[in-house]
Amino acid sequence: MELEILSWAFAAALLQIVFIDLVLAGDNAIVIGMAARNLPAAQQRKAVIGGTIGAVVIRAVATLLVVHLLEIPWLLVVGGILLLFIAYKLLVQEEDHDNIKAGSTLWQSIRTIIIADAAMGLDNVIAVAGAAHGNDLLVILGLLISIPIVVWGSTLFIRLINRFPWIVYVGSGVLAYTAAKMITHEEKLKSFFDQSAWIFWGFIALCILLVVVAGMATNNFKRRRKQRTSKQAVISNRDSA
């Protein structure tokens, strides 16, 4: 789908990409911090900037490839379903980053940041490719904007998420919206979704609702299980005493 550069649709898609970068930047901030933690203070900033730029260049190339791969029949559906799972995972993930090895030199830290980001950047690549609607300029602009976001803004965004947990649900909803739009733009299914606005928007609303409700249900289940485990531990300690 071609988007006019000065159109509202282009601006909306660009804002969507920037928001996706913000929502998914938390892991990047953690990786950057852990990879550069052993460096002298004077070199940490260089490692952060160098590693982030290198990671974004690799991610830009990967995203442009995915954008054009999505033109293959049915891959939009596959990508949309995968992105729905990523949106759900965003709500329930409990990532362990202890395996990120800190570099002892500037170049080791930069290399660690780039490799780790490439390994864990699939979610961002698919999300941005879906939001770009096949527009290469949107991909480049979105990822260029993501450089200062990741370097300076991601840590602040993590604090905001910790203070206002509902932001994560908004972000997950945006990802689910992007995933649903990817599926509805599949050429093989367009005739079905173009029948009625009710079908089109109903499907998008259903995807968002399913992801958010599933995430909330999983988090509630985990919370109750953790509470039961804590109570059992207290009872066990009391009995042993």
Q: Which residue has the tokens 């460096």?
A: 39
pLDDT of 138 above 70? yes
Per-residue pLDDT tens over the stretch 90-128: 788 655 555 555 556 777 777 776 776 665 566 677 777
Q: Is 56 a member of any domain?
A: yes
Q: Would you say residue 26 lies in a domain?
A: yes
What total of structural domains would you count in the chain?
A: 1
Q: What confidence score (pLDDT) does residue 213 get?
A: 93
What pLDDT is stored for residue 204 in this prediction? 94
State how far the Cα of 222 lies from the Cα of 229, in Å rounded to an integer: 10
**Residue listed under structure tokens 């293959």:** 72
The DSSP letter of residue 121 is -
The residue range of the domain holding 203 is 8-240
How does DSSP assign 28-56, residue by residue?
HHHHHHHHTTTS-HHHHHHHHHHHHHHHH
The answer as to whether 1 is a domain residue is no
Q: What is the tally of helices (H) and strands (E) in the chain?
A: 11, 0
- Best CA proximity match to 69, nearest among 11, 114, 126: 126
Q: Has residue 120 been placed in a domain?
A: yes
Rounded to 5 degrees, what are φ and ψ at 25? -85, -10
* Calpha distance 181→176 (Å, rounded): 9
Only one residue has tokens 């570099």, namely: 103
Within a domain: residue 96?
Answer: yes
Cα gap 241→226, rounded to integer Å: 23
149 contact partners, CB below 8 Å, separation of at least 6: 18, 21, 22, 25, 157
Tokens of 139: 């991909």
In a domain, 12, yes or no: yes
**165: in domain:** yes
d(CA 84, CA 176): 5
Q: Tell whether the model's pLDDT for residue 160 goes beyond 60.
A: yes
Is residue 168 domain-resident? Answer: yes
The band of 241, judged by pLDDT with boundaries at 50, 70 and 90, is: low
Contact, 100 vs 31, CB < 8 A? yes
- Mean pLDDT lowest for which of 61-65, 97-101, 109-113, 201-205? 97-101
